[in-house]
Amino acid sequence: MNEPQRVVVTGIGVLSSIGNGVEEFTSALREGRCGAGPITSFDTTGFLRTSGHEVAGFEPEQWIHRLPIEQLGRATQFTVAAARMAVQDAGLDERELAGLRAQITVGTTDGEAGELDRMMAESVAKGPEHPADQLVAGRLPSHQLALAVARELRLPRAVPAVLGTACAAGNYAIGDGFDAVRGGEADIAIVGGADAICRRTFAGFSRLGLVSSDYCRPFDADREGLLTAEGAGVLVLETLESARRRGARIYAELLGYGLNCDAHHPTAPDQASVARCMELALADAGVKAAEVDLVSAHGTGTPTNDITETRAIREVFGDTPPRTVALKAMLGHSMGAASALGAAASAIALAHGFVPPTVNHRTTDPQCQIDCVPNHSVPADLRVVVNNGLAFGGNNASVVLGRHEEEPSR
């Protein structure tokens, strides 16, 4: 059995409501930009609250060069575009990519549910005797999110996979790629998550009474809930040896991850299980709790999540936990993309030495006893960051990233 390899992040691709591409995304994180606005992707008539976070300025033809764009749903377009951004950011050209064994793993909650919404609406309007649009039907299978990346980038030796572990799926995908690279099964991993905003999920959260009237305010005494969102975050992972050989820029080292599923409740997280997940991740990374400088929380802005997660953090890290931020205040809740965007932001924070803020913040809920870095980013000498993703059904996933150092100090 091969000795496990050190794995580093050398490329990042991002589509989000606060910016597309790593440079714009980095600036937005530093500035504390919020991407909330009225939803335009579907008719919100009849809903009491109608705000969300949509990706603006996305031009798929800028990033998708080989596949027929009209045959791809919006979530697949996001995935392919973010993957191309990430490999370009990593400095990998297509000739190099073609010879590599690649693991492509994409996490998602809804897949192409927006396309299904539109197809069903048309069926209802025209009647059951009217045949379904075969072009739209062809966009629906979720496996296309990963398969389309392999086809677009011409990766003949790729293993594509799609994971549907809901709002923790991005971290699940990153863990899958991490195992493939550190175990020597793949030369690179192209991993992350993607989802497009859709009526079905928006309606579900609306019926649960979890949608905020204006902004998402995690950990705030006046929070009202979340705002649904869309986007994609994709990372390129490779061994440290490979990155050194190529002279690649290294954003961060991926140190380890943890997963568990408690099936405690359909929607409510379980404190002990969330804490155990972070402990599993720290053990896999070989990192002590006291060495962690920042937690990028799941932080949805709902009382159930925020209180449970902050108590779990204090259970793991003690009475003086590391700074804990919630990026959903800026990005909204992008479902399967959420923890992948969190991992991208964590790598950027480690590389550039700052902590992104929890924006829209007024007064911290006394039941959430953490420093959420309210409203303004701060410079910080970060060495280790834990990125959480929690999902319905008790699917939890935590990823540990560290500042790249030539010799591990831990």
The residues that are catalytic are: 167, 298, 333
15 three-class SS: strand
Strand-pairing partners, residue 53, are 36, 229
The C-alpha atoms of residue 314 and residue 308 are separated, in whole angstroms, by 10
Q: Which backbone phi and psi does 316 adopt, to 5 degrees?
A: -85, -40
Residues 6+ apart with CB under 8 A from 231: 14, 15, 16, 17, 53, 55, 78, 194, 195, 331, 334, 337, 341
- Comparing C-alpha atoms, which of 211, 11, 199 is closest to residue 96? 11
48 three-class SS: coil
Question: Is residue 347 within 8 Å of residue 17, measured between CB atoms?
Answer: no
Q: Which residue has the tokens 């259970």?
A: 315
DSSP line for 256-299: EEEEEE----SS---HHHHHHHHHHHHHHHT--GGG--EEE---
Of how many residues is the chain composed?
Answer: 410
- Comparing C-alpha atoms, which of 395, 187, 230 is closest to residue 298? 395
The C-alpha atoms of residue 195 and residue 210 are separated, in whole angstroms, by 19
